[in-house]
Amino acid sequence: MARFLVTGGAGFIGSHLVDALAGAGAKVRVLDDLSTGRRENLPAAARLIVGDVADPGTVRAAMAGVDGCFHLAAIASVARAAEDWLGTHRVNLGGTIAVLDAARARGVPVVYASSAAVYGDCPDQPITETAPTRPLSAYGADKLGGELHAAVAARVFGVANVGLRFFNVYGPRQDPGSPYSGVISIFAGQLRRGEPVEVFGDGGQTRDFVAVADVVAALRAAMGRIGPGDAAGRITTPAVPQALVFNVCTGIATSIRALAAELAALEGGTAVIREGPARPGDIRHSVGCPDAARAALGLGPPMPLRAGLAGVRAWLDAGLRLERT
Ligand code: NAD
Ligand code: UD1
């Protein structure tokens, strides 16, 4: 039975990964400070360590005896990084270095969450992994810093690792009540409450929305490249440690206005749109090329946006039913 550490495992993406790993029979340990994550997101089979990913002693202890580490803990918001530059840097880059350092000490392969935010405003869309990286946010700069340290970790310290540049991930458990959450959950919540949706700027900016189930598949396939290949514990670590980086995306552009219309149609109406000021440093277009990840990780076709949004709606429905009982 393979044993995994998932940092940030009580969060949105992390908890879906924990469900999948535990469901496949793996032993899962989670390190999370529960700042945005929730204990209730975790299945009973997972062991939760409440602690700070930027604390080296905590991370080393959490990594003892595992076969692979998925590193997802971060302050996952461009806006929060703008408000608290140094505080988010401590967690987002400091936490990644703490994980790589513990992995070096314990000989553990690492799959970690990077972001499309490393690219900034890229003139060539869809964006391939070889495009220049020019982040437009402190958040993106720290994600890029994490990739640079991961490359050193492989080349110099022998830590096999894969970084996944997630584009805009959405799905059940993404908090509709937080202004720092993803746009899909925010809009879905506003439409549910019968409120207008607030579009920052003209709404012509585009994003590549990828369903959380597809992200979980990519995370598990990436671990299969460098570490325990499956829940039965087959180890496939290559002789020469690699530092690989892939986009996790669909290749499909959706404007923020089109997204609002699509969500409103699911509710059987039309969206009332309020235009707010553009967000400082907001990327105009962000659509990724999924081909390299598909080829290297053997991924299937992505979930269509409409089906994924219906899943979000069903999850919100279930939550409302629970609140009423
Ligand atoms: P999330 O906020 O739901 O999950 C992050 C988790 O990390 C939370 O459970 C939180 O409590 C935990 N955490 C935060 N600071 C911590 C600390 N100091 N110590 C321990 N735990 C800490 O966000 P998410 O959307 O699930 O993001 C997961 C990862 O994916 C992050 O690294 C994020 O940057 C990255 N990512 C997310 C998206 C997206 O669209 N959601 C896109 C690109 C990259
Ligand atoms: C998101 C992720 C980030 C990830 C990046 C990768 C979240 C919270 N952030 O950042 O972790 O690294 O993708 O591409 O998931 N918008 C509105 N109204 C709102 C909220 C947002 O118009 O109420 C607009 C924003 O201005 C932006 C777009 O929607 O243009 C997406 O915003 P958001 O969901 O915050 O994600 P990103 O900033 O793209």
C-alpha 116/C-alpha 136 separation (Å) is 11
Pocket flag, ligand 1, residue 35 (CB < 6 Å):
yes
Both structure tokens of 314: 């069903």
Both structure tokens of 3: 């044993």
C-alpha 226/C-alpha 161 separation (Å) is 7
How high is the pLDDT of residue 230?
A: 44
Pocket flag, ligand 1, residue 13 (CB < 6 Å):
yes
pLDDT band at residue 111 using 50, 70 and 90 as cut-offs = very high
What ranges in the chain are assigned the alpha helix state H?
Answer: 12-23, 56-63, 78-83, 85-92, 94-106, 138-155, 183-192, 212-226, 256-266, 291-297, 305-324
Find, among 57, 68, 94, the residue nearest to 5 by Cα: 68
Position with higher pLDDT, 225 vs 281: 225
pTM for the structure as a whole: 0.95
Mutate to test the pocket of ligand 2, among 35, 77, 78 (most ligand atoms within 8 A of CB): 78
pLDDT band at residue 103 using 50, 70 and 90 as cut-offs = very high
β-strand partners of 300: none
How high is the pLDDT of residue 233?
A: 39
Q: State yes or no: pLDDT of 274 exceeds 80.
A: yes
**Rounded alpha-carbon distances, angstroms, from residue 112 to 30, 104, 187, 256:** 14, 15, 28, 28
How high is the pLDDT of residue 20?
A: 98
Q: What is the mean pLDDT of residues 239-253?
A: 87
Residue nearest (by alpha carbon) to ligand 1 atom 21: 32
Position with higher pLDDT, 177 vs 167: 167
C-alpha 262/C-alpha 169 separation (Å) is 17
Q: Which ligand is nearest to the CA of 275?
A: 2
Q: State yes or no: pLDDT of 2 exceeds 50.
A: yes
Q: If 0-12 CB within 10 Å is exposed, 13-18 middle and 19+ buried, where does residue 140 land?
A: buried
User: Any residues with CB less than 8 A from the CB of 207 and at least 6 apart, and which?
Assistant: 167, 168, 183, 253, 254, 256, 259, 286, 287
Position with higher pLDDT, 180 vs 228: 180
CB atoms < 10 A from the CB of 264, how many? Answer: 18
Q: Which DSSP helix (H) or strand (E) runs through 164?
A: strand 161-166
How high is the pLDDT of residue 226?
A: 87
Whether 208 contacts 251, CB under 8 Å? yes
Pairing outcome for strands 68-71 and 3-7: parallel
Pairing outcome for strands 254-255 and 206-207: antiparallel
Q: State yes or no: pLDDT of 229 exceeds 80.
A: no
In the chain, % of residues over pLDDT 70: 94
How high is the pLDDT of residue 167?
A: 98
- Indicate which residues carry an active-site annotation: 139
pLDDT band at residue 238 using 50, 70 and 90 as cut-offs = low
**Rounded alpha-carbon distances, angstroms, from residue 128 to 203, 247, 256, 302, 316:** 24, 8, 22, 17, 34
How high is the pLDDT of residue 325?
A: 46
Q: What is the mean pLDDT of residues 181-200?
A: 93
Q: How far is the CA of 174 from the centre of ligand 2 (A)?
A: 12
pLDDT band at residue 120 using 50, 70 and 90 as cut-offs = very high
Q: How far is the CA of 269 from the centre of ligand 1 (A)?
A: 32
Q: Where are the domains of the chain?
A: 3-172+209-250+288-301
Pocket flag, ligand 1, residue 94 (CB < 6 Å):
no
How many CA atoms lie within 13 Å of 228's alpha carbon, on the beta-carbon side? 21
Q: How far is the CA of 127 from the centre of ligand 2 (A)?
A: 17
How high is the pLDDT of residue 267?
A: 85
Whether 256 contacts 183, CB under 8 Å? yes
How high is the pLDDT of residue 232?
A: 39
Q: What is the CA radius of gyration of the chain?
A: 19
35-82 residue pLDDT tens: 999 999 999 999 999 999 999 999 999 999 999 999 999 999 999 999
Q: Which DSSP helix (H) or strand (E) runs through 199?
A: strand 197-200
The architecture in CATH of the region 3-172+209-250+288-301 reads: 3-Layer(aba) Sandwich (3.40)
Say what angle helices 256-266 and 305-324 make with each other, to 10 degrees: 50
How high is the pLDDT of residue 271?
A: 82
149-158 residue pLDDT tens: 999 999 999 9
pLDDT band at residue 199 using 50, 70 and 90 as cut-offs = very high
The size of the chain, in residues, is 325
